[in-house]
Amino acid sequence: HSCAEVLPVVRLAAPAIANNALAMLLQLVDAAYVGRLGSLELAAAALGNAYFSMIWYFILGVSTALDTLASQAHGAGDSRSVRQWGRTAGIVLLAMCLPAGLLLYMAEWVVVNLFRQSGAETAQLTGQFCIGLIPGLPALALLTGLQKFQQAQSRMLPSVYVGVVANVLNVCANYTFIWTFGWGFIGSPLATSCVRFVSLLMLSAVEIASMYDSRKSHRAEARLHLRLPDAPRTFGDQIGTFLRLGLPGGFMLGIEAWSFEMQTILAGRLGRTALDANTVMLSIASFTFISFPFGIAAAASIRVGNLLGAQQPGRARAAAHTCLVIGVAFMAVCGLVIFVSRASLTSIFIHDAAISDAVVRLAPSIALFQVLDGYQGVAGGILRGLGRQPLIAAVNLVAFWLIGIPVGSVLAFGSQLGVVALWWGLSLGLLVGSLTFAWVISRIDWQGEAQIALLRAAIEPDASALERSLPLLG
């Protein structure tokens, strides 16, 4: 079964990886244009993007409820429920844009009063940058929900095609807004907002066109009547079920993202060399994780959810194990490359002997971190496919904030290890998290999860009550 799942997993993971890479490329292009305006503008844009990410990852985590609900409903052939969960996601994600927009509007105040790491001019530019991102926030929220709605149905390529076009538009929009219109620094975030809105229109057009595929709809409805009762939940029940998975999902991603921001702040207190070395290694670690295991995790959520909904628990288990092997193997190779090439890594970013020495000292801890990050990331994707977002959030809280950050801080400031200790602390936290996930996955009753999937994802009144009556680990 595991070998048979390699090709389906790769077919899902490859577009997901490409989509993540295209999203990262958008930010790189923005940075390239802003960098031509000056170092102050580049620093403000970097700070603005970091602040935006701290807010956005929570919203992105909320959208992972679709990884469970829509993928399981699609596997069961319940197209009506898939569409309903998609609409519910759109409403919830749009509502979350209101507090998120307010937080972005307060960016200058937050940078001045909470971050305390930049001057008044940088804080002012950061505030302008975040305000420029506000118009595109609703479009990004709906775009993300629509992408997950399509991906839950194993329709991965539309997002990739839209991402390619969006990157071309982003190059043109940045140039036009910054220089042709003469808007300067504020032109870059406004260009980003514009591109996000156009991307939503393009993907929506693809979705509208797909609605006319009547043959697919007829097949799905035929399977639906064989499997599920035709008794709709109330709207309040749908929102409640979505939020029971979505809100823990928000904390699931937010807790992890916020921990790395805290690590950067702690590294800054150890001196400029420690901060620069930490930035180099964090950039590498983020790139390797987002470019591959994050995509594998998305594929794991979709594949496991689809197979459980289709009542194929054996294949779901095989898909989970296949994803874990692929993700860990890739990150092990990445860790080995980082360790072997540690002496030359810094030259990609900066030429400085002190920073190079710090990077060399960091390499062993980063190499171990890569493997553990790969396992925890993919395992989290598997558990999202099973609807275990609350469990993942709890494990992340313990791993990062009760173990990783405290242990790293004590060692960093109470010994001579410095910034290296911060990464050893995170690695220890990830080790605890990975072992916990491994234990949970080993105890999964896959047959029972397949039965739960039908009731959880269906728009059926008593499903939520049954779900709450079942134990966490199945």
Q: What is the pLDDT of residues 435-451, one digit of tens each?
A: 999 999 999 999 999 98
Give the span between the Cα atoms of 135 and 13, in whole angstroms. 31
Which of 44-53, 89-98, 448-457 is modeled with the greatest confidence?
89-98
SS3 of 208, please? Answer: helix
CA geometry: angle at 50 spanning 47 and 56, to 5°? 140
**Residue with more model confidence, 339 or 347:** 339
pTM of the entire predicted model: 0.88
Q: Give me the mean pLDDT over the 61-83 stretch.
A: 92
| Residue that the structure tokens 């907002």 belong to | 193
Residue 233 has pLDDT above 70, yes or no: no
**What is the pLDDT of the chain when averaged over all its residues?**
87
Contact 275, 268 (CB under 8 A): yes
pLDDT tens digits along 290-329: 878 889 999 999 999 999 999 999 999 999 999 999 999 9
Contact 354, 266 (CB under 8 A): no
* Window from 33-42, 194-203, 307-316, 376-385 with minimum mean pLDDT: 33-42
Give the span between the Cα atoms of 47 and 174, in whole angstroms. 19
Contact 163, 22 (CB under 8 A): yes
Contact 350, 276 (CB under 8 A): yes
Q: Give me the mean pLDDT over the 17-31 stretch.
A: 89
Which of 99-103, 279-283, 348-352 is modeled with the greatest confidence?
99-103
Predicted confidence at residue 9, as pLDDT, reads 92
Give the list of residues 6+ apart from residue 313 with CB closer than 8 angstroms, or none. 307, 446, 447, 449, 450
Give the span between the Cα atoms of 428 and 46, in whole angstroms. 29
Predicted confidence at residue 217, as pLDDT, reads 52
Q: Give me the mean pLDDT over the 14-38 stretch.
A: 89
Predicted confidence at residue 331, as pLDDT, reads 92
pLDDT band at 474 (very low <50, low <70, confident <90, very high): very low
Q: Give me the mean pLDDT over the 153-179 stretch.
A: 96
Task: Please choose, from the candidates 227, 427, 450, 429, the residue with its C-alpha nearest in 3D space to the C-alpha of residue 320.
Answer: 450
Give the list of residues 6+ apart from residue 79 with CB closer than 8 angstroms, or none. 73, 217, 220, 221, 224
**Residue with more model confidence, 229 or 94:** 94
Q: Write out the H or E segment, with its range, that includes residue 58.
A: helix 39-63
Supply the angle between the helices 187-210 and 39-63 in degrees, to the nearest 10: 30
Contact 385, 301 (CB under 8 A): yes
Both structure tokens of 286: 């983020």
